[in-house]
Amino acid sequence: MDYTPGVFTVERHVRGKWVCDDCETLIQAPVPAQIIDKGIPTAGLLAHVMIAKFADHLPLYRQESIFGRAGLAIPRSTLAQWVGVTGVQLQPLVDALRDVVLGQQVIHADETPVQMLVPGSKKTHRSYVWAYATSQFCETAAVVYVSSRRFWPLFALSLAPILSDISLPLSAFSHGMGRESMRQGLGPSAEQVSRKPGTCFAEESQ
């Protein structure tokens, strides 16, 4: 068994030019479509950076060192710009996955507390990253992540119109999160959301 480190190549696009003999109009082939307009990374390189960061948990400063060993000087600031632009371009996919999640009869959700440094403040504050996922019976495995400083993010309010046909197995309720904390400042829609798990627990107790 052998291993060959990642191989980097340079793509060269030759854009032909043509001139009309009659009107002398110059025509040039268009630039191939790119994720980053006039940028040097191809879709394959951007996919490698994104997978390394979010799937393999390689921070950009480590990727900078890895690229450096291969002879490529790509600063982490440039990598950060690539990640940001790629994230914007992937937003339609995120929206599509969100629609898949909201269209399910069963949605799994859970929160992870994280310490967040608020701009202009020297102290960190507790925030939450919420994960909404399809069940194992869904053909499309989809997870939507939402960040919020509340226990119950405003994103959940979008579930209110369809809660009559949806059960929410939220581990947050088993952690002792009170319904009053959820309803505070969120209006009547949130109250509808908060009462649904109580109905489920009552049915389970029977």
List, for residues 5-22, the tens digit of each pLDDT value.
778 888 888 888 899 888
Pairwise pLDDT comparison (96 vs 184), residue with the higher score: 96
Residue 204: pLDDT over 60: no
Cβ-contact 144, 132 below 8 angstroms: yes
Average pLDDT, whole number, for the chain? 77
pTM (global) more than 0.85: no
CA angle in degrees (0–180, nearest 5) for 146-150-153: 40
* CA distances in angstroms from 200 to 26, 100, 105, listed in the order given: 70, 23, 14
Output phi, psi for 75, to 5 deg. Answer: -65, 155
pLDDT single digits (tens) 162-187: 443 333 444 444 444 444 444 444 44
Q: CA torsion sign, 97 to 98 to 100 to 106?
A: positive
d(CA 206, CA 27): 76
d(CA 138, CA 100): 9
Cβ-contact 129, 147 below 8 angstroms: yes
- The pLDDT of residue 165: 39
d(CA 179, CA 194): 6
d(CA 49, CA 52): 5
Q: Which spans in 109-187 are helix H?
A: 171-174, 179-183
